[in-house]
Chains A and B, each alone.
Chain A
Amino acid sequence: MFGVVLLIGIPLIAITGFLSYAAYDPRLAGNDLTPQRGLLGFYLFDWPTRPVWLYRLSQAVHVILGITLVPVLLAKLWSVIPRLFDWPPARSPAQALERLSLLLLVGGAVFEFVTGILNIQLFYVFPFFYPAHLYGAWIFLAAFVVHVALKLPRMVRALRSRGFRRELRTGLRETRPEPPDPDGLVAVHPGEPTVSRRGLLGFVGGASLTLFGLSVGQTVDGPLRRTALLSPHGRTYGEGPNDFQVNKTAAAKGITARDAGPDWRLEVVGPRRTHLSRADLLSMPAHTYDLPIACVEGWSTLQRWTGVRLADLARLAGATPGRDEVFVESLERGGAFGHVTLSARQVADPASLLALRVNGADLSLDHGFPARIIVPNAPGVHNTKWVTRLSFRPAGP
């Protein structure tokens, strides 16, 4: 039963994980910092700007489903752990190889869950999250696919051996031990049962629901967000226009009020080079869109952004929207995401803005004042804050 849930859940987490990799547009200069990625740094497709909620949804599935499946993974490992202490460890070369693949499976599963869960809590005890989580996923998935291929017939047999509905009607008093199985997983002298099978399913399911219920709130807006009691980014800041989730403060990046003061100028580079003050930008045609900020760490929030279209800024610099991409640089000091390349498609989308205001008010310093990027469906960290330079250039082939 736990196997079935994981058989559906793990591929969903894997697919949304790879989608997230694609969302960073790893082909564009400076976007993918995974060292030595070789064939695993595959390029799927240009990340689309529509639907605007796609990344919000897919990354919420990746993170929240991962958290929700922790009890199922633990229950699955619990149910097969007697095999760990099998003696002799292998009776044939086939068994020896298969057990080696199980080390990759179990080690990979726990590794992926642990690195992911620690990372969203900003608990950076390993300095190499991105490459480790990506390469670990490949190792885990290799073992997962072969495990499914080898064990699928057994799972089907096990599921057929007892009716799910009947099990749900079987209480503790009628619970009997499993008949002996070819794997030798069933205890030879089982003790008195203390919990029925439906009780165990209920316990694990309840545990999953508890984790889900206490963290899913960080992916929605409105009063339900307050239900995210145990999740890192479901925090409440207040009721003001700028009171929504921050995940990189100005203080942390060395941005001072002076940097963002009246002397700030946006440098727009293309065939023409211009310098624009905030007042210049405010005098350009303004557009307003409701767009989500959706973070790779799984949280998201929808806000109303007002600013200048990137396409208009491209034209101002003599560049061509639809043909040219843009390299965005921030005032940030240190860190991997002080710059990003946005694709030609992202530049051309009418909802891609250099935002100056949010929810009718000026951006706060923590939300990127004087100006920040907001691009529909882009990963949160690509919506660069405290922008200082936009360099338009023809997109590569």
Chain B
Amino acid sequence: MSAGRPSRSRAAYRRITAHYGADPLHLLALLACFALAGYAASRVFAAGIWVGFAIWFVGAAVAHDLVLFPLYALADVAVQRRRWGRRRPGPHVHWTPWINYVRVPVGLSGLLLLVWFPLILRRSGETYRKAVGLDSNPFLGRWLLVTGVLFAGSAVAYAVRLRRSTPRRRGTRRGRGPERGRRDGGGGS
């Protein structure tokens, strides 16, 4: 009799696993997660702020997944598809990839704008002035300055890279990945 029990519970375990699609522990962990999240949500509801909260909560995921991500992904694809500037024909001339020398300064500058746009675009002007006692005008200039430094650094890094890679007569130098100069540009900020 007792020998049948472990095998019966094992069969039940297998049945649950088959129907549910994962270990029962998986289900327990998720239920615990939803219980805590549900309780927190009930506090939001009780506090009377649930409409705004839900809009911001779901809006945050939507804004990232369906706005920010497609924007930067499409921009990247568009820049790469376009034939900017001169092409360098000829099989013997090594063509230095330039895309990362654009990606890095654009990416960093865009990131700074994404994080600090209320300051840079003076979205909180009056509140800021009332609190801090100064106005938020300097931030636009500072952001432009940082952006300029990033682009200049990247341009210099690219120029150095081009100079190093064009004259083949100087002999080959080993161990230089194509993105090395780019990283130097990023670090120069």
Contacts and interface: CB of A to CB of B under 8 A. Distances in A.
B152 interface: no
Looking at chain B's contact residues, the main secondary structure is: helix
A123 B61 contact: no
Interface string A163-207: 000000011110000000000000000000011101100110011
Contact of B178 (A97, A100, A171, A206): A171
A71 B111 contact: yes
B155 interface: no
11 contacts: A70-B115, A94-B20, A106-B61, A115-B56, A121-B128, A128-B53, A138-B40, A171-B175, A171-B177, A171-B178, A366-B133
A35 B47 contact: yes
Contact of B52 (A117, A128, A203): A128
A50 interface: no
A130 to B, nearest CB: 10
Contacts of A127: 52
Given A107-B60, A206-B186, A38 B46 contact: yes
Nearest to B53: A132
A101 B30 contact: yes
Contacts of B60: 107, 110-111, 114
Contacts of A235: 132, 134
Contacts of B21: 91-95
B146 A214 contact: yes
A216 to B, nearest CB: 14
| Interface size grouping (class) on chain B | 35 or more
B124 A199 contact: no
A211 B112 contact: yes
Given A139-B40, A230-B146, A249-B130, A132 B49 contact: yes
A229 B40 contact: no
A237 interface: yes
Interface stretch (A76-84, A265-273, A275-283): A76-84
A155 interface: no
B13 interface: no
Given A40-B43, A194-B97, A211-B111, A233 B33 contact: no
Given A35-B49, A139-B57, A231-B116, 8 more contacts: A78-B69, A207-B186, A214-B112, A230-B139, A232-B128, A246-B131, A247-B131, A249-B130
Contact of A108 (B20, B39, B57): B57
Given A115-B56, A136-B53, A246-B133, A210 B37 contact: no
